[in-house]
Structure 1
Amino acid sequence: MIVDCHVNLWKPEHVRPLFAAGTTHARPGAVSPLADPDTVRAAMEEVDKAIVFTLRYADSAGIDGDDEVTAEAVRKYPDKFVGFAAVDPRRADAMDLLEHAVQDLKLKGVKFGPIYNGVSLLDPRMVPVYEYCVRNNLPLTMHMGTTFAQNAPIEYGRPLAVDEIAGRYPDLKMIMAHMAHPWAEECIVVARKRPNVYCEVSALFYRPWQFYNILVTAQEYRITERDKIFWGTDFPFAEVRESIDGLRNINAQVEGTALPRVSSETIDSILYSNPFDHWWHGGLSL
């Protein structure tokens, strides 16, 4: 089974001009603004399951989504999608929206972007979110690392804050997206240290040298042997096939050298990883 653990979802009315202005620096080539439920379903044809969520990043990345579109996608394609709620702790109604997303819309996890919302993981406004996740067995996926968006404090993307929060809330399952690039080594050592912390490789393949070094480092710290790294695309910022090929062909750039290789076991363990067995206490029945 192939599970895409990081898929963005929105409708055209959620896209602000800031999105087009910022994504010119996101990756080589253009990034499509289309990520409605039907577009995402077509893009996910090669995967068995996809974890989908919208973004509440209006003032940083130019997407002002809502959980209703995520719930709509799950209702329309229940065999393909599992939905997460988006949280912006700056909002006075943040917890009301989160409770609605979980209790009424039946979403199964939470997505948060510290740098995009300008709220550190250590901010007191996050405490109710953490406590709610623990009470309701909800994993918390976090955008960690850098971004193309200018209105985003990059310091909030460093993984060392995850270490502190994971220690405070040992029953909170936390997932660091994008291996917290360029601070992947911090991500890896935190995931190694904390049993409740995981990471994933979405949107890394198009920086192949960085991606190669991340995977070799993960092998050397042996977190690849512990089902700590999961596979995803970050659609629409990356497509399924190019993400699979980027992982499978990671060693091509070091052929003919004495540099270490990313093992086939590591590649397979990531590509065929199953978050539903790990991110929820007791697993998630699908």
Structure 2
Amino acid sequence: MIVDCHVNIFERDQFTPPAVDLTGTARPGGVPMLADADTIYEALQGVDKAILFSPRYKDSVGIDGNDEVTAAAVAKYPDKFVGFACVDPRRPDYMELLEHAVGTLKLQGVKFGPIYNGVSLDDPRMDPVYAYCQKNDLPLTMHMGTTFARDTPLDAGRPIHVDAVAQRYPDLKMIMAHMGHPWIDECIVVARKRPNVYAEVSAICYRPWQFYQAMISAQEYLIADRNKIFWGTDFPFAQVDESLADLRNINRFVEGTPLPKVSNETIEGIIHSNPFDHWWHTPPRL
């Protein structure tokens, strides 16, 4: 089984480019911001399951997400999609929206972008989210790492801040997206330290040297083969084929050198990692 654990979904009218469109700095050539349910379904033919969420990042990157869009996509393609809610703790109704997303829309996890919403992980507004997720066995995927958006606090994206939250909520499954780039070693040591914390590799395949170093660090810290690192694309920022190919060919730059190699066990273990076996205390009914 191949599971894409990180897919963004939004309708055409939910994306409004900011006054200065910076998606071209996300990766060379820019990003086609097209991610409706049908587009995603066609683009993800190469995976068995995909975890979707609709980010509420209107002021930072122009994506005005909606959990209803996620739920509608799951209803349309139930054999393919699993939906997570998105939370913006700046909204006065953020907990009502979360409870609706889980209780009524039946979404099975939560996505939060501290750097995009400008709300740090230790902000008191996050405690009700953590408590609700822990009580209801909902994994929390967090955008950890930098971003191309300008009006965002970089420190909010550092993986080191996950450590204290994971200690306070030991039964909350927390997933650090994007290996926390460029603070990759912070991400790795936190995942190694905390049994309830995981990482995933979405959207770092197109930075090949950084990607290679991340996988070598994961091996050296002995977490690469412990069901701690999961595979994803961050569609539409990366595609399925390139994300798989770049991981399987990650050693191409070091062939014929004395530099260490990423093992095939690490590569295939990440590609075939299964969040549904690890991110919930009781696996969800799919």
Common topology (TM > 0.5)? yes
1:21-71 alpha-carbon deviations (Å, 9 max, x no partner)? 020111011311110000011111000000000010001011001000000
Structure 1 stretches lacking a partner, 5+ long: none
Superposition deviation, residue 20 in structure 1: 7.3
- What residue number does 2:191 align with? 191
Task: State the alpha-carbon separation in 1 of the partners of residues 66 and 22 from structure 2.
Answer: 21
**2:179 is the counterpart of 1:171:** no
- What residue number does 2:9 align with? 9
Task: State the alpha-carbon separation in 2 of the partners of residues 24 and 179 from structure 1.
Answer: 21
Runs of 4+ in 1 over 6 A off after TM superposition: none
Superposition deviation, residue 284 in structure 1: 2.2
1:140-190 alpha-carbon deviations (Å, 9 max, x no partner)? 000001000011111001111100000000000000000000000000000
1:242-274 alpha-carbon deviations (Å, 9 max, x no partner)? 000010000000011000000000001100000
**2:73 is the counterpart of 1:59:** no
Note the 1:133-148 alignment, pairs <5 A.
133-148=133-148
Secondary structure at 1:141 match in 2: strand
Equivalent position amino acid for 2:104 in 1: D
Structure 2 stretches lacking a partner, 5+ long: none
Note the 1:116-127 alignment, pairs <5 A.
116-127=116-127
- What residue number does 1:202 align with? 202
Task: State the alpha-carbon separation in 2 of the partners of residues 20 and 223 from structure 1.
Answer: 40
- What residue number does 1:238 align with? 238
Superposition deviation, residue 285 in structure 1: 2.7
- What residue number does 1:131 align with? 131
Task: State the alpha-carbon separation in 2 of the partners of residues 96 and 195 from structure 1.
Answer: 30
Task: State the alpha-carbon separation in 2 of the partners of residues 245 and 131 from structure 1.
Answer: 39
Report if aligned partners of 2:60, 2:150 keep a CA contact under 8 Å in 1: yes
1:54-108 alpha-carbon deviations (Å, 9 max, x no partner)? 0100010110010000000000000000000000000000000000000000000
Secondary structure at 2:279 match in 1: coil
Task: State the alpha-carbon separation in 1 of the partners of residues 214 and 185 from structure 2.
Answer: 7
Task: State the alpha-carbon separation in 1 of the partners of residues 50 and 225 from structure 2.
Answer: 23
**2:281 is the counterpart of 1:281:** yes
Task: State the alpha-carbon separation in 1 of the partners of residues 285 and 221 from structure 2.
Answer: 31
Q: CA RMSD in A?
A: 0.9
Task: State the alpha-carbon separation in 1 of the partners of residues 20 and 31 from structure 2.
Answer: 8
Percent pairwise identity: 69
Task: State the alpha-carbon separation in 2 of the partners of residues 225 and 270 from structure 1.
Answer: 8
Task: State the alpha-carbon separation in 1 of the partners of residues 189 and 183 from structure 2.
Answer: 10
- What residue number does 1:88 align with? 88
**Alignment length, in residue pairs?**
286
Task: State the alpha-carbon separation in 2 of the partners of residues 17 and 195 from structure 1.
Answer: 39
Secondary structure at 2:190 match in 1: helix
- TM normalised by structure 2 equals 0.99
- What residue number does 2:47 align with? 47
Secondary structure at 1:97 match in 2: helix
1:98-131 alpha-carbon deviations (Å, 9 max, x no partner)? 0000000000000000000000000000000000
Equivalent position amino acid for 1:98 in 2: L
Task: State the alpha-carbon separation in 1 of the partners of residues 118 and 56 from structure 2.
Answer: 12
Task: State the alpha-carbon separation in 1 of the partners of residues 78 and 217 from structure 2.
Answer: 37
